């Protein structure tokens, strides 16, 4: 998608502070961090929202969580704990329409989320 910010990050058209990359997945620090560690884990292929997933996307969705766990370990928050969140559409708080798993840690999380 030529007008998608996260596709531009995947393509290298926009810089990002990358913390993990493999064939299918990219993880980089959020520009507006909401916690001491705030990383976005995305599929390299464009998928707009959770509603757009098909059965062919099951493997890459699993890879997002595997990558999030690796990044949490590498950034030292695996034992203290962290939260993963994927927002969907307006009421879910989604603002970038290329799915992304938020990985948040380094502070106490509260429940329920806002």
Contacts with Zn ion by CB under 5 A lie at: 1, 4, 6-7, 46, 98
Show the CA angle centred on residue 79, arms to residues 76 and 84, nearest 5°.
80
Asked if 94 is part of the footprint of ligand 5GP (rule: CB under 6 A), the reply reads: yes
Token pair of 64, please? 């997002």
Widest Cα–Cα separation across the chain: 39
Nearest to 103 by CA among 94, 15, 73: 73
Q: Which of 1, 11, 22, 31 binds ligand 5GP (CB under 6 A)?
A: 31
Separation between Cα atoms, residue 38 and residue 32, nearest integer Å = 8
**Part in contact with ligand 5GP (CB under 6 A); list of ranges 26-34, 55-63, 66-74, 75-83:** 26-34
Active site residues: 100
Q: Which residues bind ligand 5GP (CB under 6 A)?
A: 5, 14, 16, 28, 30-32, 40, 87, 93-96
């Amino acid at each position: 998608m030529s007008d998608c910010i996260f596709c531009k990050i995947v393509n290298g058209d926009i810089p990002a502070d990358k913390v993990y990359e493999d064939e299918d997945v990219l993880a980089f620090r959020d520009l507006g961090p909401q916690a001491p560690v705030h990383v976005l884990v995305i599929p390299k292929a464009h998928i707009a929202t959770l509603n757009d997933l098909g059965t062919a996307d099951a493997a890459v969705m699993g890879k997002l969580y595997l990558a999030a766990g690796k990044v949490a370990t590498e950034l030292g928050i695996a034992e203290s704990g962290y939260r993963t969140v994927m927002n969907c559409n307006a009421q879910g708080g989604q603002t970038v329409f290329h799915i992304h798993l938020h990985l948040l840690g380094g502070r106490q999380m509260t429940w329920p989320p806002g």
